[in-house]
Amino acid sequence: MENPANVRVIAAIRAIPAGQVAGYGEVARRAGLPGRARMVARLLATNDDPCLPWHRVVRADGRIAFAPGSASYLEQCARLRSEGVKVEAGRVRGLRPAPTVDQQLWGDHG
């Protein structure tokens, strides 16, 4: 992690509370990088920190980014379930296909 952008992204991901999930684009804009969803994905792909809650990052529609059946897919799915996140057909409950999603993903308290 050399550039501050990556640091911001990492921070944003680490800011996702357990039991909650966030989309790549959501994380990106939380990191101050609107439109950099793919950067988040690439960053996770090159991520080496095991402490990073990467499993809390899903696609905008709430589906797992990995191919159904793949090791990573099962891994993420298992981790999410372990946190109480409802996952059905590779899709996460609590996330809606509708936009204007903000604090809905980051806690309804504030």
Partner DNA sequence: ACCTTGACAGCGA
Partner DNA sequence: TTCGCTGCCAAGG
Per-residue string for binding with DNA, 71-90, x by CB under 7 A? Answer: -x---x--------------
Question: Which range touches DNA (CB under 7 A), out of 56-64, 80-88, 102-110?
Answer: 56-64
Find, among 77, 74, 98, the residue nearest to 86 by Cα. 77
CA distance 69 to 23: 21
Cα(45)–Cα(70) distance, integer angstroms: 15
Q: Which residue from 86, 33, 35 is spatially nearest to 60, judged by alpha carbons?
A: 35
Q: Which of 9, 10, 31, 57 binds DNA (CB under 7 A)?
A: 57
Question: Does the footprint of DNA cover residue 105 (CB under 7 A)?
Answer: no
| Interface with DNA (CB under 7 A) | 5, 23-26, 35-42, 44-47, 54-55, 57, 59-61, 65-66, 72, 76, 97, 99
